Amino acid sequence: MTVSVRDLDVELGGRRVLRSVTMEVAAGSWTAVIGPNGAGKSTLLRAVLGLRDGRGTIRISGRDVRAMRPRQRARLVAYAPQSPRLPPDMTVFDYALLGRSPYIPHFGRESTHDRSVTADVLERLDLSGLAARTLDQLSGGERQRVVLARALAQQTPVLLLDEPTTALDIGHQQQVMELVDRLRLADGLTVMSTIHDLTLAAQYADRLELLSDGRVAASGSPADVLTRETIAAHFDAGVSVSHDAEGRPLLALERPARPGERPARPGERPARPGEGAGE
């Protein structure tokens, strides 16, 4: 399903966090929302989820998100927050089963189908062996997959991920991103995610939306958005940009020149202390 945001303005505590944000997320695609801290990335996801009021329109396959009842939205959009509250004594299975809440009648109980869906999701995420374990017994990578399992158990066509690789080492980052991408392709999911690691975003997203000061400062393919000039302008960072075999950007930080040193040219390794002495 497509996600359409038009002229979205959001204020929090009297401060304008999003300013005339407009973007289109194609059905079955992966769009990564990037930007410096405080740019409004998480606020944008919560607005799409219907948790933030504002001016403008947000539509999912033409349907106004704000006109839907919460249970209707929850059958269209699932959300994996950056820092969820995990009840320490709850089992992995019961936490993932919470994703079936939009389908369980008020004052009712989960059905055999709900439990079957949950078991299937845990199997796909390689969590079946942990189903009876409590959440406080999990590693950081396992917790991340359990949060994703709860979102996937909702069986929604749109998946919102707020920093899905936060606090994970590089191996678990890759595992989580690969898992999301495989599920997206297998189930035709539309994915919107925020992510700080720009190279990671470039490797997996079809399209990037760069937010800066609450506005869309750049949008397009990773190669179009992640340029040396754009990173310098909006992140105040010096980087070198290369590209892999598919043309996706690979970013590396460049240290500023120290006093007395000649600034490194683009792509050149800065001289180490002592190099060049005696020449």
Domain segments of the chain as ranges? 1-76+156-231, 84-155
Domain topology for 1-76+156-231? Rossmann fold (3.40.50)
Note the pLDDT of residue 275: 56
Tell the burial category of 59 from Cβ atoms under 10 Å away from its Cβ (0-12, 13-18, 19+). middle
Instruction: Say whether pLDDT at 262 is over 80.
Output: no
* pLDDT on residue 45: 95
Mean pLDDT of all residues in 123-151: 92
| In the chain, % of residues over pLDDT 90 | 74
Decide if pLDDT at 277 tops 60. Answer: no
For residue 83, pLDDT beyond 70: yes
What pLDDT score was predicted for residue 116?
Answer: 97
pLDDT category at 98 given cuts 50, 70, 90 is very high
Which contiguous run of DSSP H or E holds residue 123? helix 112-124
Is 271 a residue whose pLDDT tops 70? no
| 263 confidence band (pLDDT: 50, 70, 90) | low
List, for residues 34-78, the tens digit of each pLDDT value: 999 999 999 999 999 988 989 999 999 999 998 999 999 999 999
Q: One-letter amino acid identity for 156?
A: T
Q: What is the mean pLDDT of residues 8-29?
A: 95
Question: What are φ and ψ of residue 46, in 5° steps?
Answer: -65, -30
Confidence of residue 171 (pLDDT cuts 50, 70, 90): confident
Name the more confident of 232 and 173. 232
pLDDT-derived band at 125 (thresholds 50, 70, 90) equals confident
Confidence band for 279, pLDDT divided at 50, 70 and 90: very low
Predicted confidence at residue 94, as pLDDT, reads 97
275: region left, alpha or beta (phi > 0 left; psi from -120 to 50 alpha) = beta
| Single pTM value for the model | 0.87
**Would you place residue 199 in the very low, low, confident or very high pLDDT band (cuts 50, 70, 90)?**
very high
Q: Who has greater pLDDT, 85 or 41?
A: 41
